Amino acid sequence: MTIIEKILANHSRAVTVKPGDILDVEIDARVARDFGGANVVNNIRDNALGIADPDRTFFTFDCNPTGSDQKYTANQQFCRVFAREYGIKVYDINRGIGTHLLIEEGLVYPGATAVSTDSHANILGAIGAFGQGMGDKDIAAAWSKGSIWFRVPESVKLTINGKIPEKVSAKDIILCLLARFGANTFLGKSIELYGEEIENLSLDKRMTIASMATEMGAVTMLIPPNQEVIRYCESRICRKIDPVLADPDAVYSEVIELQAGDFTPMVSRPGKPHDAIPLDDVRGTRIDSVFIGSCTNGRIEDMRAVAGVLEDHKVADGVVLKIVPCTDRVWNMCLEEGLIEIFKDARALVSNPGCAGCAAGQVGQNGPGEVSVSSGNRNFPGKQGLGEVYLASPEVAAASAVSGFITSPDQISDLPVERKPLPSTTARKPGPTKSLKKDSPVEFTGRVWLINRDDIDTDMIYHNRHLAITDIKEMGKHAFGNLAGFESFSSEANQGDIIFTGKNFGAGSSRQQAVDCFKSLGVGCIVAASFGSIYERNAINVAFPILSSGKIDELELKTGDQVTIDVGTGKIINLSKRKSIHANPFSDVQMEIYQNGGLF
């Protein structure tokens, strides 16, 4: 078996497993963050559920540790009260990013399992553990039962041969992989990463690479732990660890080999993490701000690299540099090593640990017309504010902050940069809220909305500035509010409308609202070439009909056509063109949850 197959088998009643098997998987660490936590609590209370094991159940308040948003603050306190009632540990606003704390606190270790409302929980693949981001329904079920259903993914073996060039960072490695494979080549698969240089990577660098498996559409990216990683994890849990490794005869859906010498410093252009290009192609692009931090690049090695660039330099006039260590432990190491002094002397803003701008809840956001460089993992439109965001390594981000334009540490400029005025913007009024859909037919007919695009992410579907909304009745008016060309969808959609779209629909965040907004409007079904892994689960678990098919083009659809769908057989008929196809029908699990009216 592969690594993921062994871990899932070890945490279920199965002796052996294979791709496609659906298992009931025991979860070692069950986590809710501050934005999803309130919804998890509501699910527990509304369905009269209990807590299976409080010692394995945790809150991590990392999205808005400054308490700068009243709704976030209210949700945090709501969760604290619940935690006291059930004896649940809270890693509060002073502790930092939850996925990092799971490793620091020894709650997760090689071979363990964890679920979180954080879509980057697969960062735990850095230590050879299985972490999965899930929506609030899934997390509530895991809290109350201790386990959750999961489909065994196919595994891909990816080997990087040769020596990685000296100026190529861990962030460059993952951006090169994104540029090569895009956002959906490995959709729903588990990647195992190998190679002599990979074997020698530190834990911090492994976390940078593993954290962006989400942006590749993968379930996880597992890096077999080396002795350094094993010793660190053993020091956190105070016992010996036998890591889970793939069998010599493990079966992979693909075996891919790449040459490390082909890797180069990279930058992702605004809008898509996988739109990564060589740094030289955008060198000289003027910027307004820089953010350094996030679960991808907020570790102590990142902070040391940034300090090495900033020492004896000042941030360029007109540029704002914001630095956020990932955890309180890393923050204190920065203080002890004198890095904070270097940051402040360079005129940077240093904030308390957390997710920062990446989660729209702390420093790191940008405004209309603002051009930023970020060491984060996502630059979807609107994700980190209303401006444009380039993704880069911490070293490149720091060098760019000093220069006032995108550059590398070996080509820093201290000359002043001319500034241009920002363009004006006009706010858009949201559409009206529609009533909730109540019936759950197996066959139904509806009007087509054709959205012929791939990789529509959850920020386009339901922007993160609305994440504090917990009432589903309010969610519909924000559906597609951040998808260019479809901002008026919520005011024009009718009950029973059916959306047809491309690959990897629902990529990105684990937010449940990106499904619930369509339920709020009464949308009848979404048919896509494929779905983001977390999005698919969220839809299934709330009994919202989704189907996947690679043959949508054969229906010759246009917006306004009438189609009939049978979710039991998967048959789809375009009544307007008399064309039909068979999509993938509901699985037994999906049909059972659908007919039950939801996971609960």
* pLDDT tens for each residue of the chain, 600 residues long: 999 999 999 999 899 999 999 999 999 999 999 878 999 999 999 999 999 999 999 999 998 887 677 788 889 999 999 999 999 999 999 999 999 999 999 999 999 999 999 999 999 999 999 999 999 999 999 999 999 999 999 999 999 999 999 999 999 999 999 999 999 999 999 999 999 999 999 999 999 999 999 999 999 999 999 999 999 999 999 999 999 999 999 999 999 999 999 999 999 999 999 999 999 999 999 999 999 999 999 999 999 999 999 999 999 999 999 999 999 999 999 999 999 999 999 999 999 999 887 766 567 788 889 999 999 999 988 888 889 999 999 999 999 999 999 999 999 987 777 655 545 544 455 555 444 344 578 999 999 999 999 999 999 999 988 888 889 999 999 999 999 999 999 999 999 999 999 999 999 989 999 999 999 999 999 999 999 999 999 999 999 999 999 999 999 999 999 999 999 999 999 999 999 999 999 999 999 999 999 999
Is the residue at 82 inside a domain? yes
- Whether residue 253 is found in the same domain as residue 300: no
Containing 181, the helix (H) or strand (E) segment is helix 170-181
CATH number assigned to the domain comprising residue 170: 3.30.499.10
Structure tokens at 45: 């209370």
Is the residue at 416 inside a domain? no
- Whether residue 242 is found in the same domain as residue 294: no
Structure tokens at 82: 């619940």
Domain that holds residue 246: 3-262
- Whether residue 448 is found in the same domain as residue 586: yes
Is the residue at 430 inside a domain? no
Residue 121 is which amino acid? Answer: A
The Cα–Cα gap between 312 and 310 comes to 6
Is the residue at 421 inside a domain? no
Residue with tokens 């609030």: 136
CATH number assigned to the domain comprising residue 486: 3.20.19.10
- Whether residue 258 is found in the same domain as residue 275: no
Structure tokens at 567: 């979710």
What's the predicted TM-score (pTM) here? Answer: 0.86
- Whether residue 23 is found in the same domain as residue 79: yes
Identify which of 100, 59, 362 has the alpha carbon closest to the alpha carbon of residue 211. 100
Judged on CB neighbours under 10 Å (0-12, 13-18, 19+), 291 is buried
Identify which of 489, 351, 347 has the alpha carbon closest to the alpha carbon of residue 431. 489
- Whether residue 205 is found in the same domain as residue 343: no
Identify which of 260, 261, 100, 264 has the alpha carbon closest to the alpha carbon of residue 169. 264
The Cα–Cα gap between 321 and 524 comes to 46
Between the CA of residue 5 and those of 139, 186, 247, 568, what are the distances in Å?
22, 17, 10, 29
Based on the structure, what is the number of domains in the chain?
3
Q: What is the dihedral of CA 93, 94, 95, 96, to 10 degrees?
A: 70
Identify which of 8, 297, 240 has the alpha carbon closest to the alpha carbon of residue 106. 240
Is the residue at 44 inside a domain? yes
- Whether residue 276 is found in the same domain as residue 250: no
Judged on CB neighbours under 10 Å (0-12, 13-18, 19+), 342 is buried
Out of 239, 262, 285, pick the residue that ends a domain.
Answer: 262
- Whether residue 448 is found in the same domain as residue 407: no
Is the residue at 436 inside a domain? no
